[in-house]
Structure 1
Amino acid sequence: MVKVVTYRGKTLEEVQKMSMDEFISLLPSRQRRSLTRGFTPPQKNFIENVRKLKRARKGKSVSVKTHNQGRIQA
């Protein structure tokens, strides 16, 4: 039996297909506030590094070591 990953009643596939605004509406208030205010330069750098690693691994899961704590896990 395969475990279905859900977040607040939405499956992983549904969450991945959502727009950023729809996804933000699912989050708790602290995370909503952080995302609506935008990203700082270190956060943007971190996100770009994760995207580069995912492209290099062709979309597979990646493990990233970072000093940037408090990122939303993806």
Structure 2
Amino acid sequence: MAKKTQKRLPRRREEFTYRGYTIEQLQQMGASELVPLMPARARRKVNRGLARDHEGLLAKVRAGDEGIRTHLRDMIIMPEMIGKTIEIHNGKEFVAVELQPESVFHYLGEFSLTRRRVSHGTAGIGATRSSKYVPLK
């Protein structure tokens, strides 16, 4: 049996769509047209009305300000925010995040992690008797 040799084609990066709409189409929509497209939690938040500080952040984004810094980790990423760089506070410092089309209707806090990844080293002083043994190569 002959083995088929297929040439792998490079992966084509298609234009991002959210529920059938491109980012440009989402940016042209009004708030009332965006609400049915949102996930349930984001839809509930927008229907209840955004807080004053959330509206202020949106105003800064619409004005085209550079170097926007915020503590509002619970802000929903709206289509008009795509392509902007926002510095989000993680509890210790501000982390610069460029908002990609895939992040539409997620929260800002999801992109600025509050905990660091733990990398455990070898057992040391104060370790239990069984874990003190480190094999020598």
- Where 2:14 maps in the other structure, the secondary structure is coil
Matches within 5 A, 1:8-27: 8-27=19-38
Higher strand share: 2
1:69 and 2:73 correspond = yes
1:23 alignment partner AA: L
Matched with 1:35 is: 46
TM-score (norm 2): 0.42
- Residues 20, 37 of structure 1: alpha-carbon distance in 2 compared, 3 angstrom cutoff: same
- Where 1:45 maps in the other structure, the secondary structure is helix
Identity %: 31
Structure 1 runs of 4+ aligned residues shifted over 4 Å read: none
Say how many residue pairs are matched. Answer: 67
Please give the per-residue CA displacement for 1:27-54, whole angstroms capped at 9, x wherever unaligned: 01110010011111111221112222x1
Gaps of 5+ in 2: 1-11, 82-137
Gaps of 5+ in 1: 57-61
- Where 1:65 maps in the other structure, the secondary structure is strand
Q: Distance in 2 between matches of 1:24 and 1:32?
A: 6
Q: Distance in 1 between matches of 2:14 and 2:46?
A: 29
Matched with 2:84 is: none
Task: Report deviation, 1:63.
Answer: 5.6
Task: Report deviation, 1:3.
Answer: 3.5
1:65 alignment partner AA: R
Task: Report deviation, 1:71.
Answer: 1.4
Matched with 2:59 is: 48
- Residues 22, 12 of structure 1: alpha-carbon distance in 2 compared, 3 angstrom cutoff: same
Larger radius of gyration: 2
